[in-house]
Amino acid sequence: MSTDPAHHDDHQEQLLVPLAAEDVAALGSDSEQLAALFAAALHGLALLRTGRASAAELAAAIEGTTGLLERLEAVRDASLRQPAAKDVSHADLAKAMHLESRATAQSRRRTLLKKPVSDLERWATGTTD
């Protein structure tokens, strides 16, 4: 994954995200969008750690991180809706969601399944119009 440097004189390292060829093909241009959001989040983290962030840079980090979080949540929610997810025990689901209680996992799944499928969940499954 690479991003354009802020200044043409900047030395830029690249971060490799290892994906199987079939994953890259399935993701198409969405992989570039996710990589850009991830890069914005990582840049924001670097700015926070160095203490050199301007207000505009913090706003860009917030925007990139929010976009990435929304898409990651959609991937999680779409995964929970998949028929195979019905075979995941509530204990395993709690562990996967980093929850202490299987009852909380059960409640979260139930709440999600009562809601309509979101546009970003459709994006995650590749079923957008």
**pLDDT tens-digit series, residues 69-128:** 999 999 999 999 998 888 999 999 999 999 999 999 999 999 999 999 999 999 999 997
pLDDT for the residue 67 = 95
Q: Per-residue pLDDT for 2 more than 90? A: no
Residue 84 lies inside a defined structural domain of this protein: yes
Residue 1 lies inside a defined structural domain of this protein: no
Give residue 10's pLDDT band: very low, low, confident or very high (50, 70, 90): low
Domain that holds residue 74: 21-125
Residue 6 lies inside a defined structural domain of this protein: no
Q: Per-residue pLDDT for 15 more than 90? A: no
Considering its fold, how many domains does the chain have in total?
1
Q: Per-residue pLDDT for 129 more than 80? A: no
Burial class of residue 61 in the structure, from the number of CB atoms within 10 Å of its CB (0-12 exposed, 13-18 middle, 19+ buried): buried
Report yes or no: 63 and 33 within 8 Å, Cβ to Cβ. Answer: no
Residue 65 lies inside a defined structural domain of this protein: yes
Residue 42 lies inside a defined structural domain of this protein: yes
Report yes or no: 48 and 62 within 8 Å, Cβ to Cβ. Answer: no
Q: Per-residue pLDDT for 3 more than 80? A: no
The owner of tokens 């706003």 is 59
Q: Per-residue pLDDT for 17 more than 60? A: yes
pLDDT for the residue 5 = 46
Residue 8 lies inside a defined structural domain of this protein: no
Half-sphere exposure of 62 (CA within 13 A, CB side): 7
**Nearest by Cα to 35 from 50, 49, 23:** 23
The owner of tokens 């019905």 is 86
Report yes or no: 76 and 85 within 8 Å, Cβ to Cβ. Answer: no
Segment 46-63 shows an average pLDDT of 92
Residue 16 lies inside a defined structural domain of this protein: no
DSSP state of 5: -
Residue 110 lies inside a defined structural domain of this protein: yes
18, two tokens: 């290892």
Q: Per-residue pLDDT for 6 more than 70? A: no
